[in-house]
Structure 1
Amino acid sequence: MARRRKYPPITLGKDALYHAWVVVGAKPNGRPDQRHVKRKTIEEVEERVDELLDQKKAGAVVKAGRGVSLQEWLETYLETVASRRCDPTTVTGYRTYMRNYVYPVAGKVRIDRLTPEHIDRIYLAMQDAGRAQATIVQTHRILSRALEVAYRRGMTPRNAAKVIEDAPKAKRREMQALTEAEALAVLTAAERIRNSARWSVGLAIGLRQGEALGLRWSYVDLDAGTMDVFWQLHRRPFEHGCGSPATCGRKRAGNCPQRKQRLRTGEQPIAGGLILKAPKGSGKATIPIPSELVAELRRHREVQELEKVMAEGAYATHDLVFADVDGSPIDPARDWAEWKSLCKAAGVPDLPLHGGRHTAASLMIAQGVPIEVVQEVLRHSAIQVTRGYVHVASDSAKAATDRMGATLLRRPSTP
């Protein structure tokens, strides 16, 4: 088929290679942006020229110069772009996803030559290896975001992760929650351990684990019956300050003599890698405390004051509502193990720790609390998140309406 006149001429050079020069636009100084193409065959030159002309037509011409590999770009993206907007622990997790699943399959592919087929092979390899759908979805989200940034910066003609058919999608997770009777059983079991009020806070008002463990007395007003959920306790892994494990000879970064811990603006280190940071999303808020929980927290504080006296000045001054005997913060891993132990002791389903928050939501909905109020108490970013608990509450709602029926509709027996 005859080509149009604007198609550049292809010539055979003295180097035995075929050459073509393609104008793809204008440089910032107004001069033509001309790309030099040289290949061993005319067909290879034509293929590259067609690619450049397609990019020109689409207004997505890749910057001049040799393109970086997918692995090189992802490492740059994680170290710069992602680190500005994400928690350092989150970035560490993202890097693990990329190193485990993306680099082995397509890490060496130049980013400007990445195709949807490369992306398909990544997800197919994960599927064949038995990885969970949630893991594949998370990998897709990280990869798609990184490639979108590369596309906007002119490093690649398209975001290959966005044009694949049947992109991985997250399945709707079924919310797991305890019934009212099961929640009471857990609280009864908790009465036999220290910091039992920690579980009352979790089940009654739905505080996240980090929010409960990071709660401080200076943010709790028992007289007014309110608490400011402004902080959460979080473990932040240390990094090698020396550069790499090979330099100091210590595999674990926490054992590195020059170890460092990345802190973002406003974060406060406490001890042993634990920090205080702002709550997730839009979770920073002041919430009311039920009068029964106020009374329980008063009793809890009395016990804590006695522990301070017994410590004789050795009590840590972190002001934590829920702390170890010496006032030091409770390790999230130990808190998680305690939840599992309580579920077993109470004879209730072995739910994830976040199930306590789900329980608070479903019980409030079952008792007729308006969904907008439930959203406010739990600090959900969107009402759609709160609506996800409505179907969970069905069993509890049935029990609640049965009690209402027994109370209001009971008829006196006939003599």
Structure 2
Amino acid sequence: MRGSVVKRGKSWSVVVDTGNDPLTGRRRQRWHGGHRTKRDAEAALAEIVGSVNKGAYVPKSRQTLAEFTADWLAAIEPTLRPATSYSYARNLRLHVLPYLGATPLAGIDAGALNGLYAALLAEGRKDSEGGGLSPRSVRYVHTIAHRLFKDAVRWGRLARNPADAADPPRGTSSGSPDMVTWTAGELARFLDGARTTDRYWAAYLLLATTGMRRGEALGLRWADLDLTACRATIRQTVVTVNHEVQFGTPKTAKGRRSVSLDAVTVAGLREHRKAQAAERLLIGAGWRDHDLVFAKVDGTPLHPERFSREFTRRSARLGLPPIRLHDLRHGWATMALAAGVHPKVVQERLGHASISITLDTYSHVSPALHGEAAETVAALVFGTVR
């Protein structure tokens, strides 16, 4: 590669010859201006030549982050799940582009990203409540930005990923919501109170006794159940994309799993199937058959958010401490670990990708388990000696 330095007015510029255009045959040159002295320009030229020799040279571009983002989202959309694609686009539109969208892509560095994260923590919420996003939400924005800039490097738009040097907040900081679960007695009280008055009772029962995710339970089909063998196989999920209900599949191989069912849950599901059959007869030709275990009265899938809101209303009517529907999953795991169920079994039933996720998520149970382990081993040792 050839290059030179040229004085333009009161400053110096670096001119880099990048060869001939393969389409037109014309000579291509890149200008890098703004150097105060000839020595500065020569140093910049040496750095550019070095980067070319290392294969790391990226010509400067006026493309903004907003322009690159549009190209990037269009390119990766076919490779993503619809819900993931929507989430990426929404988070970039709400939390990144308003702050950095007009900035040239090549002009974004770690400092700019850290400033963005600080702004989001302080005032990132776009709903009526206002205020800042949680550290976990800001870290998710960082994850999206990191992938975007990683692809920009791979596509030759950037020399390095600025997100590598950025400092996002820790997702497990005190800003994250605390895990709140019911006791076994409170859970039993909820299930007893909802049994005769709530058509979703069987769904609550299944969530509480298996630790399934909401979308997994709502996507469950009768074909996925073997009530004789007391097993449920998770193959389909229900998700929302831009507020519309869609069917999907578990995200990971560990998410596609078979879960054992207890006798009470099996009996509840058999009872629910009879009630659903009666509803189907009443609806007649209006029934839309998706083979769903839990569905609206016409057979169509339940909206996950509305299902969660109904759970919240039901628990409030019963005078129970407020928890999220997802906390039924946390509650099952907490009670299982406290009862001595092996963490590997808990991981497999929950569908976690690794046992480390299970142990990190439910680390609050560890002190009790450590104490029990100490006493158990001590009893084995000293009980035989004495």
Normalising by the residue count of structure 1, what TM-score does the alignment of the two structures yield?
A: 0.75
Map residues 50-89 of structure 1 onto 2, 5 A cutoff: 52-53=48-49, 55-56=51-52, 59-62=55-58, 64=59, 66-81=61-76, 83-89=77-83
State the one-letter code of the partner of 2:117.
Answer: Y
Residue 96 of structure 1: aligned partner:
90
RMSD: 3.4
Residue 171 of structure 2: aligned partner:
170
Q: Name which of structure 1's ranges 377-386 and 101-110 shifts more when overlaid on structure 2.
A: 101-110
- Give the C-alpha shift of residue 198 in structure 1: 0.7
CA contact (8 A) 1:179 1:395 kept: no
Counterparts of 1:124 and 1:391, CA distance in 2: 28
- Residue-by-residue CA offset, 1:255-292 (whole Å, 9 max, x unaligned): xxxxxxxxxxxxxxxxxx42221123231122211122
- Residue-by-residue CA offset, 1:297-340 (whole Å, 9 max, x unaligned): 11111122222223344332222111223323222222111110
CA contact (8 A) 2:287 2:299 kept: yes
Report SS of the residue matched to 1:351.
coil
Residue 259 of structure 1: aligned partner:
none
CA contact (8 A) 1:37 1:49 kept: no
The unaligned stretches of length 5 or more in structure 2 are 124-131, 374-386
Residue 377 of structure 1: aligned partner:
349
CA contact (8 A) 2:13 2:35 kept: no
Identity %, equivalent residues:
27
Residue 276 of structure 1: aligned partner:
247
Q: Which of the two has greater helix per residue?
A: 2
- Give the C-alpha shift of residue 378 in structure 1: 1.3
Counterparts of 1:50 and 1:108, CA distance in 2: 30
CA contact (8 A) 2:312 2:322 kept: yes
- Give the C-alpha shift of residue 36 in structure 1: 3.6
Counterparts of 2:295 and 2:227, CA distance in 1: 18
- Give the C-alpha shift of residue 156 in structure 1: 1.0
Counterparts of 1:142 and 1:222, CA distance in 2: 42
Higher relative contact order (CA 8 A, sep 6+): 1
2:310 pairs with 1:314? no
Q: Quick one: which of 300, 309, 315 aligns to 1:343?
A: 315
CA contact (8 A) 2:13 2:34 kept: no
State the one-letter code of the partner of 1:143.
Answer: A
CA contact (8 A) 1:206 1:358 kept: yes
- Give the C-alpha shift of residue 357 in structure 1: 0.9
131 and 217 in structure 1: CA distance in 2 versus 1, 3 angstrom threshold: closer
- Residue-by-residue CA offset, 1:330-351 (whole Å, 9 max, x unaligned): 2222211111022213333211
Report SS of the residue matched to 1:388.
helix
Residue 141 of structure 1: aligned partner:
143
